Amino acid sequence: MILPEINQKMPIYRDCTLVEVMVVSFICIISLMLLLVPTTIILFGYGWIGAVLALVLWVPVSKFFLARLQKLKFGKPYGYYQHILLKSLSNSPLASWLPISFVQRLGKWSVRRQK
């Protein structure tokens, strides 16, 4: 008997998978850099101050958003939000540039037998 959990991605931090942790961390560092570097250039004339602040704040801000993601995912089945994201992407105008390789339901489903 093969367990269904074998094919699931393993959570590594706060019930988030490695890909989710990397995506949240990447979004946090980019947004902190885009926010703090221009601000410190305007205030002090040096952008490296904002870069250092962004690197220092990167870990606590990522941990904060990973905790929020953990609360969002609580009680939902594996891959629920990934499925919702892929479904919304397939219905968006980006679907022509980003083909979704998953089968989606079209029309009504029936459990009756066909003769």
Q: Do 29 and 61 contact (CB within 8 A), yes or no?
A: no
Q: Do 28 and 69 contact (CB within 8 A), yes or no?
A: no
Question: Does 101 have pLDDT greater than 70?
Answer: no
Q: Let me know if 54 is exposed, middle or buried by CB neighbors in 10 A (0-12, 13-18, 19+).
A: buried
Report residue 18's pLDDT band, with 50, 70 and 90 as the boundaries: confident
Question: Does 92 have pLDDT greater than 80?
Answer: no
Q: What pTM did the predictor assign?
A: 0.68
What whole-number distance in Å separates Cα of residue 53 and Cα of residue 36?
A: 7
Question: Does 97 have pLDDT greater than 80?
Answer: no
**Cβ-based neighbour number of residue 32 at 10 Å:** 20
| Listed residue (82, 42, 36) closest to 58, CA to CA | 36
Read off the pLDDT of residues 21-56 as tens digits, 9 standing for 90 and up: 999 999 999 999 999 999 999 999 999 999 999 999
The pLDDT value given to residue 49: 94
Across the strands, what pairs with 16?
A: 13
Average pLDDT, the chain: 81
